[in-house]
């Protein structure tokens, strides 16, 4: 049998908690055991009590005041403002009575928390409200604000959902004796990543993406029709990171019967909200088709998200523990470690990883408590996929930009709104700091601004040097050179006669602002198109990158026209958020402990096979390259 069930947990807490604390209720809320009591002050008088309880139930335990003893909101608001240091600017205070919490937003969370959490303790002792401190983005973010407001507005429904999840997790279950993984997308291809992890008693989906460069159902979406069971039987969904090819199909699950949790990091949750809604709009506007889900399905999905930070060990089913680790790919991207059963098996799913230098993140984690099976991406796993040194890449980018500016042309850099756009902004901002005479405006369009604002919300996920800059309110994403462009500005930017640098999604020219800019800029030979990220084999970007100079586009009347590419076309390698061949091999060599089995995924053409062959020789053990709709028994 595995773990304590909910009734045993409730009994254990009641036995440990002193009667003077006055327990009202013990609830399983998602990943936490929440103990509601009437006497908060008496609880704080008992040294190490919460550690004693957590150790006994082997769960994260939160202590909350029963709603009956909460101070009135108006009085509590006044008290909180008097307790928080006067130099701290509070941007928002929201009370969530369903959880006995008060959410305090500020640019300086550390000052609100106080030394050793002293300020938080004082707030709780004097008001009974449990303070949750949230960082205010240095740039306005409708996504972050919307998610935080919806948490308050939908608190009652969310509490009901979390209680259901918690009680399902907190139950005993016989040990499983087999483990199987099924590949539903992203194996032997890039796009629509999706993998099922299944035991006798658990069904967990890792990633559920779309192929954003096609609308053909057989190529765009995961093979969920091969599951062999209904969606309502899935126990949990894990999302590795916030790119559409890894999470873009998740709302579909809620449209067709799934009602369980989604686990991901907080930044990934925010990017899901941002990009999925944009996907609906882009499909309709650029391709004239409807998305396979609606905005209501996205809202339902977000209500079910349970955010998890790096390094937290959490139960997602009674027999599966999950830990997320930094993947170095984009903000909040994670390697997924699953510990299954009482030592039955440990697997790691890489998602997308960067095991090399970037200005944004530390390299991907390589140390795990145990790992028998590793699934690793192979986007640049081909034998010839080698990128130049980073300094050379940055110099090439600046050189091409300067050559274009000298001709009074404009530079279009198609970027993923999340990840590459911020990386390129950091490179340009650094060049500007070293060359103050460089005064060419940098226009960011589409979701680049919103994505950059989300980066300033979670500086703890960035490199230490960048985190310190943002916490000191010196965000590089707010350089005076950076200007925000809207749809009505594009014609003036392109044909105004002045040089400009334009960063616009999508990164593969598959619709969105970059596609619109391309149509306006392609005919002028003074302009330059610079690719800095991965181009899928099916994408418009790939066709242009490979030399096609007449490409089909959708005209204003809805008919297909040919667009002549007279502008200069360049590719600057070295900025991808994916590891190249050498970095992938170094990652595999450094993973500790060395996995018994490795499988490659997320690679076009022969790249997965190429990496598998080389990795097998280096590791001296079997490395496979499975395809979609295959399944492997791991135990």
What domains are there in the chain, each with its CATH number?
A: 6-68 (3.30.300.230), 79-136 (3.30.300.20), 172-384+578-633 (3.60.15.10), 402-571 (3.40.50.10890)
Above 90 in pLDDT, residue 168?
A: yes
Above 70 in pLDDT, residue 307?
A: yes
Note the pLDDT tens digit of each residue in 488-535: 899 999 998 899 999 999 888 888 899 999 999 999 999 999 999 888
Higher local confidence (pLDDT), 634 or 622: 634
Confidence band for 556, pLDDT divided at 50, 70 and 90: low
Q: Alpha-carbon distance 589 to 168, whole Å?
A: 39
Alpha carbon 612 to chain centroid distance? 27
What per-residue confidence (pLDDT) applies to 3? 64
The vertex-584 CA angle with 580 and 590, nearest 5°, equals 145
Q: Give 541-544 contacts, CB < 8 A, sequence gap 24+.
A: 541/414, 541/507, 541/508, 541/509, 541/510, 542/508, 544/509, 544/569
Above 70 in pLDDT, residue 90?
A: yes
SS3 assignment, position 64: strand
Alpha helices (runs of H) in 30-154, residue ranges in sequence order: 40-44, 49-57, 73-83, 109-113, 118-127, 142-153
Above 60 in pLDDT, residue 29?
A: yes
What per-residue confidence (pLDDT) applies to 244? 94
Note the pLDDT tens digit of each residue in 242-265: 999 999 999 999 999 999 999 999
Above 50 in pLDDT, residue 415?
A: yes
Residue 450 sits at φ, ψ, to 5 deg, of -65, -40
- Mean of pLDDT over the chain: 94
Least confident interval from 226-230, 278-282, 311-315? 278-282
Higher local confidence (pLDDT), 537 or 421: 421
Report the pLDDT averaged over residues 88-98. 95
Note the pLDDT tens digit of each residue in 343-357: 899 999 999 999 999
What per-residue confidence (pLDDT) applies to 557? 65
What per-residue confidence (pLDDT) applies to 142? 95
What per-residue confidence (pLDDT) applies to 175? 84
Name the token pair of 472.
Answer: 């000191």
Above 90 in pLDDT, residue 202?
A: yes
pLDDT above 70 coverage of the chain, percent: 99
SS3 string, 26-43, reads EEEECCEEEEEECCHHHH
Above 90 in pLDDT, residue 292?
A: yes
Report the pLDDT averaged over residues 162-177. 89
Above 50 in pLDDT, residue 2?
A: no
Q: Alpha-carbon distance 178 to 31, whole Å?
A: 25
Note the pLDDT tens digit of each residue in 430-487: 999 999 888 899 999 989 999 999 999 999 999 999 999 999 888 999 888 899 998 8
Cβ-based burial of 436 (10 A; exposed 0-12, middle 13-18, buried ≥19): exposed
Least confident interval from 44-48, 276-280, 545-549? 44-48
Among candidate residues 50, 26, 28, the one with its CA nearest the CA of residue 37: 26
Report the pLDDT averaged over residues 557-571. 88
Report the pLDDT averaged over residues 368-382. 97
Confirm if 58 and 313 have CB atoms less than 8 A apart. Answer: no
Confidence band for 330, pLDDT divided at 50, 70 and 90: very high
Residue 516 sits at φ, ψ, to 5 deg, of -65, -45
Report the pLDDT averaged over residues 13-22. 95
What per-residue confidence (pLDDT) applies to 1? 38
* pTM of the predicted structure, to 2 decimals: 0.94
Above 70 in pLDDT, residue 555?
A: no
């Amino acid at each position: 049998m595995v773990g304590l069930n909910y009734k045993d947990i409730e009994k254990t807490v009641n036995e440990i908690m002193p009667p003077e604390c006055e327990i009202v209720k013990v609830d399983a809320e998602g990943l936490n055991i929440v103990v509601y009591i009437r006497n908060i002050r008496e609880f704080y008088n008992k040294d190490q009590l919460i550690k004693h309880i957590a150790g006994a139930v082997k769960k994260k335990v939160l202590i909350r005041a029963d709603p009956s003893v909460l101070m009135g909101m108006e009085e509590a608001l006044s008290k909180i403002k008097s307790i928080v240091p006067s130099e701290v600017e509070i941007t928002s205070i929201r009370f969530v009575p369903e959880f006995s919490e008060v959410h305090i937003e500020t640019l300086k969370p550390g000052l609100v928390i106080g030394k050793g959490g002293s300020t938080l303790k004082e707030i709780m002792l004097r008001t009974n409200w449990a303070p949750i401190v949230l960082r205010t983005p240095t740039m306005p973010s409708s996504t972050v604000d919307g998610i935080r407001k919806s948490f308050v507005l939908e608190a009652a429904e969310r509490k009901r959902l979390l209680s259901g999840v918690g009680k399902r997790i907190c139950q005993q279950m016989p040990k499983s004796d087999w483990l199987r993984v099924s590949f539903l997308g992203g194996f032997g291809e890039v796009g629509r990543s999706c993998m099922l992890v299944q035991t006798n008693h658990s069904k967990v989906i890792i990633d559920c993406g779309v192929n954003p460069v096609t609308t053909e159902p057989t190529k765009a979406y995961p093979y969920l029709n091969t599951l062999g069971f209904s969606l309502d039987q899935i126990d949990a969904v894990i999302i590795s990171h916030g790119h559409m090819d890894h999470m873009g199909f998740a709302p579909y699950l809620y449209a067709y019967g799934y009602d369980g949790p989604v686990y991901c990091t907080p930044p990934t949750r925010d990017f899901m909200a941002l990009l999925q809604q944009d996907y609906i709009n882009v499909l309709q506007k650029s391709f004239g088709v409807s998305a396979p889900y609606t905005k209501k399905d996205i809202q339902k999905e977000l209500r079910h998200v349970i955010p998890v930070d790096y390094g937290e060990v959490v139960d997602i089913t009674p027999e599966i523990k999950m830990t997320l680790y930094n993947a170095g790919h984009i903000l909040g991207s994670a390697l997924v470690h699953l510990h299954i059963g009482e030592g039955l098996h440990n697997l790691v799913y890489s998602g997308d990883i960067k095991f090399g230098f970037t200005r944004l993140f530390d390299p991907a984690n390589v140390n795990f408590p145990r790992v028998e099976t590793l699934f690793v991406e192979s986007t640049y796993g081909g034998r010839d996929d080698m990128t130049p040194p980073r300094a050379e890449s940055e110099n090439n980018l600046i050189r091409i930009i300067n050559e274009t500016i000298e001709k009074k042309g404009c530079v279009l850099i198609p970027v993923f709104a999340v990840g590459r756009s911020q990386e390129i902004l950091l490179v340009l901002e650094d060049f500007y700091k070293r060359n103050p005479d460089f005064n060419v405006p940098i226009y960011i369009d589409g979701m680049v601004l919103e994505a950059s604002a989300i980066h300033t919300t979670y500086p703890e996920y960035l490199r230490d040097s960048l985190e310190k800059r943002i916490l000191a309110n010196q965000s590089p994403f707010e350089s005076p050179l950076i200007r925000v462009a809207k749809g009505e500005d594009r014609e003036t930017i392109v044909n105004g006669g002045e040089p400009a640098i334009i960063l616009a999604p999508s990164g593969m020219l598959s619709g969105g602002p970059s596609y619109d800019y391309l149509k306006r800029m392609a005919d002028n030979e003074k302009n330059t198109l610079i690719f800095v990220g991965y181009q899928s084999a099916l994408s418009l970007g790939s066709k242009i990158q490979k030399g096609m100079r007449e490409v089909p586009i959708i005209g204003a009347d809805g008919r297909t026209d040919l667009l002549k590419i007279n502008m200069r076309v360049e590719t600057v390698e070295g900025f991808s958020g994916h590891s190249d061949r050498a970095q992938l091999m170094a990652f595999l060599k450094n993973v500790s402990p060395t996995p018994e089995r490795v499988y490659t995924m997320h690679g076009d053409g022969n790249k997965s096979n190429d990496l598998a062959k080389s990795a097998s020789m280096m590791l001296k053990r079997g490395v496979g390259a499975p395809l979609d709709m295959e399944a492997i028994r791991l135990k």
